[in-house]
């Protein structure tokens, strides 16, 4: 299968929280989209790898993605190790995405910033003809970085107002993470994930306000953006 847009992240539900609305929007426009979860999320406080795999499959239907896979990197130990980069390069050669979305390269969680490095280097290695893996050499044309977990100003924001409700369904598909069983005594240990969905919704509202929309998702590009028509630029200045 060849896809147009591939989102790579450390754990199941990372993509939903950071760029799920954008994946929905692109799928609705007719593009083939995909998700590569680097780990199965087996180190999470809640849920099991089997539960999270079922939730990821359910969420993928809400997102409308054509493909979702897991690379099999150990959770809590995501590293740009040679064997992981080669395996990731194999996926890139197989799917041949034009655009890849990665986590921002700075984060509180080590898995997230290592996922960014692993993703970039895997995409780079996939283009080396002499690389000792199967498939024809290939590199994505564009790499974008999500800014949802980072305190940086995005290069651009995607309006996800029409996709916001569907994105929320995709997030809440991870019931083990965001819908704790009612009647169960609350854990005495504070879990940041208990407020994560609310924070991501607030951030989507913030990004939306930046472009005069209700909800948005921010992205950063290391390359300068090219504009052909300055008269048709969106977002009011005054």
Q: How confident is the model at residue 188 (pLDDT cuts 50, 70, 90)?
A: very low
Q: What is the mean pLDDT of residues 184-201?
A: 62
The 10s digit of each residue's pLDDT in 109-138 is 999 999 999 999 999 999 999 999 999 999
SS3 of residue 209 by DSSP: helix
CB atoms within 10 A of CB 85: 22
Backbone phi, then psi, for 217, in 5-degree steps? -130, 130
pLDDT at res. 193: 60
Q: Residue 190's pLDDT band (boundaries 50, 70, 90)?
A: very low
Per-residue model confidence (pLDDT) at position 191: 43
Domains in the chain: boundaries: 5-220
In this structure, the strands spanning 33-37 and 67-70 are parallel
Asked if the model's pLDDT at residue 232 lies above 80, the reply is yes
Residue 65 has pLDDT above 80, yes or no: yes
In the chain, helix, strand, coil percent, each to 5?
Answer: 40, 15, 45
What kind of architecture, by CATH, is found in domain 5-220? 3-Layer(aba) Sandwich (3.40)
pLDDT above 80: residue 196: no
Both tokens of 21, joined, read 């609305």
Closest by Cα among 224, 2, 220, 5 to 99: 5
d(CA 29, CA 189): 43
Per-residue pLDDT tens for 74-114?
989 999 999 999 999 999 999 999 999 999 999 889 999 99
Angle separating helix axes 164-172 and 14-28, nearest 10 degrees: 140
**Which has more pLDDT, 178 or 75?**
75
User: Are the CB atoms for 23 and 5 separated by under 8 Å?
Assistant: yes
* CA 219 – CA 154 distance, rounded (Å): 5
Q: Are strands 216-220 and 142-146 parallel, antiparallel or unpaired?
A: antiparallel
């Amino acid at each position: 299968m060849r896809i147009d847009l591939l989102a790579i992240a450390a754990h199941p539900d990372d993509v939903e929280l950071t760029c799920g609305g954008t994946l929905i929007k692109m799928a609705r426009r007719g593009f083939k989209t995909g998700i590569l979860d680097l780990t199965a999320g087996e180190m999470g406080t809640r849920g099991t790898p089997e539960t999270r795999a079922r939730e990821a499959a359910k969420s993928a239907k809400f997102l409308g993605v054509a493909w979702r896979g897991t690379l099999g990197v150990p959770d809590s130990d995501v590293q740009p190790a040679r064997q992981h980069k080669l395996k990731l390069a194999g996926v890139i050669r197989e799917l041949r995405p034009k655009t890849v979305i990665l986590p921002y390269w700075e984060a509180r969680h080590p898995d997230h910033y290592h996922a960014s490095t692993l993703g970039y280097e895997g995409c780079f290695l996939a283009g080396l003809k002499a690389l000792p893996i199967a498939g024809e050499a290939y590199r994505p044309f564009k790499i974008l970085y999500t800014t949802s977990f980072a305190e940086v100003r995005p290069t651009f924001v995607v309006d996800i107002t029409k996709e916001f409700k569907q994105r929320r369904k995709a997030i809440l598909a991870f019931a083990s993470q965001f819908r704790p069983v009612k009647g169960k005594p609350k854990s005495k240990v504070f879990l940041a994930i208990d407020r994560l969905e609310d924070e991501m919704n607030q951030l989507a509202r913030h990004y939306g306000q930046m472009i005069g929309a209700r909800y948005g998702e921010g992205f950063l590009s290391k390359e300068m953006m090219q504009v052909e028509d300055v008269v048709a630029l969106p977002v009011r200045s005054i």
